[in-house]
Chains A and B, each alone.
Chain A
Amino acid sequence: MLCASGGLLAATALPGQPPGRAAAPRCRRRDPPFPGDPELSPDVLLADRIARRSLPAGRRAFLRRGRMPPAVGGGLAASELRARKGKAGPQAGIADRDETPTRNPKRLAQGPGCGGAAGRGALLALVTLLAFATRFHRLDQPPHICWDETHFGKMGSYYINRTFFFDVHPPLGKMLIGLAGYLSGYDGTFLFQKPGDKYEHHSYLGMRGFCACLGSLLIPLAYLTVEELSHSLPAALLTAALLTFDTGCLTLSQYILLDPILMFFIMAAMLSMVRYNSCTDRPFSAPWWFWLSLTGVNLAGALGVKFVGLFIILQVGWNTVSDLWGLLGDLSISLVTVGKHVAARVVCLILLPLALYTAMYAVHFTVLSKSGPGDGFFSSAFQARLSGNNLHNASIPEHLAYGSVITVKNLRMAMGYLHSHQHLYPEGVGARQQQVTTYLHKDFNNLWIIKKHNTVSDPLDPAYPVEFVRHGDIIRLEHRETSRNLHSHYHEAPLTRKHYQVTGYGINGTGDSNDFWRIEVVNRKFGNRIKVLRSRIRFIHLVTGCVLGCSGKALPKWGWEQLEVTCTPYLKDTLNSIWNVEDHINPKLPNISLDVLQPGFPEIFLESHMVMIRGNNGLKPKDNEFTSKPWHWPINYQGLRFSGINDTDFRVYLLGNPVVWWLNLASVALYLLLGGVLAVAMRRGVCLPKELQGLSRVLLQGGGQLLLGWGLHYFPFFLMGRVLYFHHYFPAMLFSSMLTGLLWDSLLRLCAWRLGRGVHAVGILGLLLGTAYSFYLFHPLAYGMVGPLAQDPQSPMAGLRWLESWDF
């Protein structure tokens, strides 16, 4: 801490002006800022400051200059934009642009060439070092599976073993975990069965280390972002301290989880966007391209880890649109140039991320080539790709003909095959006829024969020519084992009362007109014939006009807990009523290899997205369960238990450092208040003192961006119907911590302007020490605790259970 505060003293003074410049006439707002600022060495300034301290008259002068820099710095890009937007006219714009080249070399040479750069570099290194030290401390503890490690560790292993699996998140995060494991010598043999299982001899530190590494990098990223937005080292330092000393971020970074990876990409995208924003005065220069495309790359990364990455895409999108809007309004820029700008953004922020995102999936599908636990979630055609699956390398006839023996699979995942068996519906459940259900496993009772509705003759008789089944044909489906026809009638279905019952009816294939179904192909791009695996078909009952479907409800014991099949009178295109043909036996037709039917990359790409979206929507909270609500999060209402329950266990509890979190919460409110007052005051034309103009610009523009980020990563959760967890808030928490850093620095500067400069240094130092002390108090939450629970006065956490809802 001592070092940090030493740096801090230097830092507070840093954004000053060279004394030589002091005499220069006060520049107008649109004038170019002092190019020399950043080069100042802290020592010079400190000296300057100390020297001035004895001069009461000089104090004002210093203060004025001392406060000025954020304005100049923060507005470096912005001040130009303002000039363009404002009524300054084309001349000013041209003048501005004329000056840019002269400024470039200095900025490029940059930043701060000599002493300042070293100071800053050292500070950054210190911050990074501290971050790594906190994140890597006791990384190997506990040596058992914690919480979701059981999922993501397992998925990492799947990549190493190349077995196919299904998850609701995009693949990048898990691929990286797998890669980290692979590189660190983990062989993929650990089962990751359930939380609490010991790792024993398996090497897990590589994966944890990778996550911790990305988690540590969050802090320098946040530091640099805030520094870029506010041009104030204390603000950046405060942000870094808030994040370093937050037990929640720390806990979340220490395990094999997707969150550190996701947050890393979000923050990296934010930093590149902010950096790119400060390059807007030199469009199409190398750094401009670099940061723009880096933003795109990081966006792809964020989206590739979790769909939550969409929010940062929205933020970057908003930033880009307002940027382009500004350019369009600048009449000194020709339309061609504007077009170039648009094209550059389209390429870097849309095409590049899309290409990367698609590439991720290409790698994903290439790596996972073996059949595994995820097969059942995908369509039959998809499964044919996976080696080890029984559809792989199989060969069956391509088009359905009368007399074919087939299995029919429901298109909705995990619904299974159309099935029937000897047993009847019990007394009182519709008509007492043979049950028809869907069954998840392969079985002889899944086999059905397609017959013409009006002839009884055996179509397999070699005397008859082959006749293919076509879209719109009226058919009969005969169950092969029991020779009963698929049948429906106006009795209510066993569970879904509004639907009709489906039964097996008739003896040896002779039934009645209720056995007739019209077969329809939904996707008719393969022609009117019915193609195995690929054609999506519906069966429409001829008499009642209802559609054969699976309701997805499990029948009671009499139905062997298989799923209910009904005939639904509501002709809606839901997947429940769409089927495809999987196995197909017809001796009269030539077999073809299924490889021909394998879907191409675009199709599997789309299909896997559909499955993921459905999987996400399927994660609904159950009625009687405790669920985390979004309003719980910012107030740190309840944590998440990572490991251990009893007093003898090694317990880790994911909970934000309450001091940090409540400070963040208060800061958001304070920011809204202050921002509102400032905005209204400026709108009313109140003439702010020069010193405040810079501050208000930093607050409104830099702070606005951070507030937008916080809102975008937080409020959409209120609309989500799926199960939510506390850790969903962490990306928003990063933004709110950055806002806190920026806000308190500005506030203290404001106070310092009125009360004297000491206030600023003391305030920042106080905040830093306060967070550090609270971290000292709460660190057992993250690093793990053994011994009595917090109710017990013996416990290290005694007296720290400030809210009753925290259960550690």
Chain B
Amino acid sequence: MWALLKRPVTVTADINVTGLALTAVALLSRLWRLTYPRAVVFDEVYYGQYISFYMKRIFFLDASGPPFGHMLLALGGYLGGFDGNFVWNRIGAEYSSNVPVWSLRLLPALAGAFTVPMAYQIVWELGFTHCAAMGAALLVLIENALITQSRLMLLESALIFFNLLAVLSYLKFSNFQKHRPFSLSWWFWLMLTGVACACAVGIKYMGFFTYLLVLTVASVHAWNLIGDQTLSHVRVFCHLLARAVALLVIPVVMYLLFFYIHLMLLCRSGPHDQIMSSAFQASLEGGLARITQGQPLEVAYGSQITLRNVFGKVMPCWLHSHQSTYPMIYENGRGSSHQQQVTCYPFKDVNNWWIVKDPGRHQLVVSNPPRPVRHGDIVQLVHGMTTRFLNTHDVAAPLSPHSQEVSCYVDYNISMPAQNLWRLDIVNRESDGEIWKTILSEVRLVHVNTSAILKLSGAHLPDWGFRQLEVVGEKPLRGYHESMVWNVEEHRYGQSQEQKERELELHTPTQIDISRNLSFMARFSELQWRMLTVKAEDSEHKYSSTPLDWVTLDTNIAYWLHPKTSAQIHLLGNLVIWASASLATLVYTLLFFWYLLRRRRNIHDLPDDAWLRWVSAGTLCAGGWAVNYLPFFLMEKTLFLYHYLPALTFQILLLPVVLQHISEHLCRSQLQRSLFSALVVAWYSSACHMFNMLRPLTYGDRSLSPSELMALRWKDSWDILIRKY
């Protein structure tokens, strides 16, 4: 208390004016006329629809990445009061007045702007001069591609932001490690590293590469820590534990959290329901849930059911039959049984209803009390509308001659007896019990006479089969496959004795109300699994490119063209920066190996601390570039130039590092150093000039004449749109 009286209360604040100024300029460059163009630009058409889904809380499935990025964009919409009512169908479509364009684009733009001061901080934390740090920030500032990408509702800028944040906080953490381990700031930066990594992974799977880099660096540091014999065993253990919690546990928890929020938010059924299992669909409001709620749980003899194939990859479909028969002779000359067709039909239809019958009784109604069907029971399946029995026999299937044909039995009196007994095999009986349950039980139907299993072959029948999917009986030779497994989706206890009444009953929808809740982990694992396995159709795109095109900027993407003038937005990088960043990487690599080999021969070109700085800068910057770039060579999906931007950001950070190194260690005299600085200034001005020239294509604010556009087309492979009048 006395101290307060003795001395005046002062607040000393260190304000890095440079940092502030950089942030301000960055904000200006990213936020300037953010609402222009007030039209859908390129991939906004893609992400926009998900924002609308979030606003309307409708479930969707996007295989391109985890939901955190989408949620960030949706947050912008939420803050701007977007109601989700906009049809995202065409690039260039005008936004209607209810779309809060500014707030939707705000978060990516902010993320893009903050990468500038972060670039400054990273280079500074790496131990380089203020001048180098400034250089890094200024380069990021005038990189046209980064500006374009962050001014739109896209995810790359947020991904880059969290990538850099992860690296920066790890650097801060390891600087604290040197003098004040286990202090508050130490904990803060360590935790922030984990959180940032999780966010990066949560935006795009690509963030995983940066996470791996951070993990690798952290484990090398941990290994050194283990080797430090001045620390006690307990202390080392505490260090390792803290790292494991922050860098392994926290990211996993955060990742789950993203999905938890995602699934919490999206509680209504929507257009992507069908890809998910029946159980998942039933957990959403509306859609299937409306139909299945209140269904009896246990399938009994006499139940009326629809059977859905569990294998969702081809398309969701239900076991189906109809009046038509298999053609007597197929086109290729093989014969068939000429019995009634059984197919799998991708739409809801009254012909999808089947009745479970006890072979020992004649009734098609549920007795009172209902007798549930159990694993191993022998049943017959009767097609509801035609009252024919599901049957299979030793006749080759129409399209898969190695499997058996499945039909609804028609007695032609030609010594081909009915073989319509099926044994029920509940696959997941360990988790869901021995009794056949609606939605929950996954069952296989094993034919009693031939031990064939009812299976969806995946082939489309020709016209005689109405292009429905082929169903066959296959011998269980090759183990378990999802296309052999079915589950009951709609279900009711049949009440009508007479066929006419029964048909009426089949036409009426099932209704009653119970909710069946799936646990979060079950929903998460199903969603994650579907996201990873859903095959994106192999689409070509006019602006797709290969990784080799990126380094030299041989490609561009036209994002938007003004409907009338030739104002246009392109994803096009600052060529000077791209070229020099690639060159810097090359120079770094060569110098690094040169020094490394010479150090091995005990020739120390650099003092030890300079060498350490050089190595750590290389690991994070060149390493960051490599891990974010090289994996694309192995990927088979359609790639675009914007996939390179995270790698490019790391590469730009390396540039001032190499320049400072050259000036400090390779320029021998003061004169050389001055000359070199002059060169750097000249080079930077040329980069600024380049930025200025490409500015109309970055912001799209000015309509250029065809000749100006032609002049900007520096590479033949750049696709700049020139209107023909």
Contacts and interface: CB of A to CB of B under 8 A. Distances in A.
Interface of A: 325, 328-329, 331, 335, 498, 568-570, 572, 623-624, 626, 638, 641, 645, 680, 683-685, 719, 721, 805, 807
Nearest to B481: A626
A20 B684 CA distance: 77
B552 to A, nearest CB: 16
Contacts of B233: 684
8 contacts: A331-B602, A335-B601, A570-B542, A684-B227, A721-B636, A805-B479, A807-B476, A807-B478
Given A570-B540, A623-B314, A685-B229, A328 B477 contact: no
B636 A684 contact: no
Nearest to B636: A721
A719 B483 CA distance: 25
Given A329-B600, A331-B601, A624-B311, 15 more contacts: A325-B600, A328-B597, A329-B601, A335-B601, A570-B540, A572-B540, A623-B313, A623-B314, A626-B481, A684-B226, A684-B227, A684-B233, A685-B229, A719-B634, A721-B636
Given A325-B600, A328-B600, A684-B229, A805 B480 contact: yes
Contacts of B476: 807
Q: Which 8 A-B pairs have the closest CB atoms?
A: A624-B458, A626-B478, A328-B600, A683-B226, A685-B229, A329-B600, A683-B227, A805-B479
B683 interface: no
Contacts of B478: 626, 807
A328 B601 contact: yes
Contact of B479 (A325, A329, A624, A807): A807
Interface string B221-239: 0010011010001001000
B564 interface: no
Contacts of A683: 223, 226-227
Q: Which size bracket describes the interface of B in this complex?
A: 20 to 34
Nearest to A626: B478
A512 B689 CA distance: 47
A572 B544 CA distance: 9
Contacts of B361: none
Contacts of A572: 540, 544
Interface in B520-550: 535, 540-542, 544
Nearest to A805: B479
A645 B477 CA distance: 8
Nearest to B331: A557
Nearest to B225: A683
B600 A624 contact: no
Contacts of A641: 477
Interface string B622-645: 000000000000101000000000
B457 interface: yes
A723 to B, nearest CB: 14
B486 to A, nearest CB: 15
Nearest to B226: A683
Contacts of A498: 540
Contacts of A626: 478-479, 481
Nearest to A620: B636
Given A335-B601, A684-B226, A719-B634, A624 B542 contact: no
* Most chain A CB neighbours (cut-off 10 Å) among B227, B544, B600: B600
A805 B477 CA distance: 9
Interface string B387-427: 00000000000000000000000000000000000000000
Given A623-B313, A623-B458, A719-B634, A807 B541 contact: no
Nearest to B483: A624
Contacts of B313: 623-624
A498 B537 CA distance: 13
A684 B457 CA distance: 59
A638 B636 CA distance: 28
A328 B636 CA distance: 40
A684 B236 contact: yes
A328 B602 CA distance: 10
A641 B478 CA distance: 10
Contacts of A331: 601-602
Interface in B422-479: 456-458, 476-479
A633 to B, nearest CB: 14
B226 A680 contact: yes
A624 B597 contact: no
B62 to A, nearest CB: 21
Which of A569, A645, A683, A805 has its CB near the most chain B CB atoms (within 10 A)?
A683
A638 B227 contact: no
Interface string B596-625: 010011100000000000000000000000
Contacts of B600: 325, 328-329
Contacts of B479: 626, 638, 805, 807
Contacts of B477: 641, 645, 807
Interface string B483-503: 100000000000000000000
A569 B542 contact: yes
Nearest to B480: A805
A566 to B, nearest CB: 11
B451 to A, nearest CB: 10
A335 B597 CA distance: 11
Nearest to B541: A570
A638 B477 CA distance: 11
Interface string B534-578: 010000111010000000000000000000000000000000000
A681 to B, nearest CB: 10
Nearest to A327: B600
B576 to A, nearest CB: 27
B702 to A, nearest CB: 27
A728 B601 CA distance: 43
Contacts of A805: 479-480
Contacts of B634: 719
Contacts of B223: 683
A805 B476 CA distance: 10
B313 to A, nearest CB: 6
Interface string B201-245: 000000000000000000000010011010001001000000000
Contacts of A645: 477
A720 to B, nearest CB: 10
Contacts of A570: 540-542, 544
A351 to B, nearest CB: 22
A624 B226 contact: no
Nearest to B476: A807
A151 to B, nearest CB: 20
A327 to B, nearest CB: 10
A680 B457 CA distance: 53
Contacts of A328: 597, 600-601
Nearest to A499: B540
A684 B227 CA distance: 5
Contacts of B458: 623-624
A638 B481 CA distance: 13
Contacts of B227: 683-684
B259 to A, nearest CB: 23
A721 B636 CA distance: 9
B657 to A, nearest CB: 26
A86 to B, nearest CB: 14
A797 to B, nearest CB: 16
A25 B571 CA distance: 75
A624 B457 contact: yes
Nearest to A556: B462
A599 B477 CA distance: 48
A329 B600 CA distance: 5
A638 B480 CA distance: 11
A624 B480 contact: no
Interface string B658-681: 000000000000000000000000
A613 to B, nearest CB: 14
Contacts of B483: 624
Contacts of A568: 540
A572 B545 CA distance: 9
Contacts of B481: 624, 626
A624 B314 contact: yes
